[in-house]
Amino acid sequence: MKQKRPSYLNFNAADYPWKPDIDYRLHPELYRVGKGEQGVLICEPYKSEIGQYWRFKTVPIAEESSREIFSLFLDYLERDDFVGADMARKYLQMGYTRARRYFNYKGGKKYDAEKDYQLLERGTGDPEKAKAAAIFYDRWKEAEAEQRYADMKKKWKRDKG
């Protein structure tokens, strides 16, 4: 079986469709939905607007964080700002995936760089992170189930990518 390696080892910024020097509010036509959480830590001004609330250290912090990000998600929808809504949805998804990573792996570290990026042992992380992940998961799925968002996303993908 081929060893799985982290995707960031072969990352090519030039080929990545999201760029840090673009204001996606001024140029939403350049935004691509992508797969999963792609672009979430790059697309400004949304990264700065939403990222400041993204936390999952404890259950109460995850509850407050997911509530604030979901509120931003709804605000973006009210303003017909699909890019903002999609970015907020991505932060909710990332809250789930990162909290799960910290539950599965101590310190959230999945690979051992000193041992040719071998996978580290699972089940060594913080049990509270599983609860934090569940909170983000519920908000993420609530966002995806929002009909206005689903309609906007379908149209965006059809028209812009």
Tens digits of residue pLDDT in 66-99: 999 999 999 999 999 999 999 999 999 999 999 9
Calpha distance 112→128 (Å, rounded): 23
Residue entry with tokens 């699909």: 82
* CB-CB contact of 55 with 92 (8 Å): no
- What's the pLDDT score for residue 45? 98
The predicted structure's pLDDT at residue 1: 44
Listed by start position, the domains of the chain span 18-159
Q: In which region does residue 88 sit, left (phi positive, over 0), alpha (psi from -120 to 50) or beta (all else)?
A: alpha
pTM, 2 dp: 0.89
Radius of gyration for the chain, computed over Cα atoms and rounded to the nearest angstrom: 17
Percent of the chain with pLDDT over 70: 95
pLDDT at 133: 97
Q: From CA 135, how far away is CA 63, in angstroms rounded? A: 6
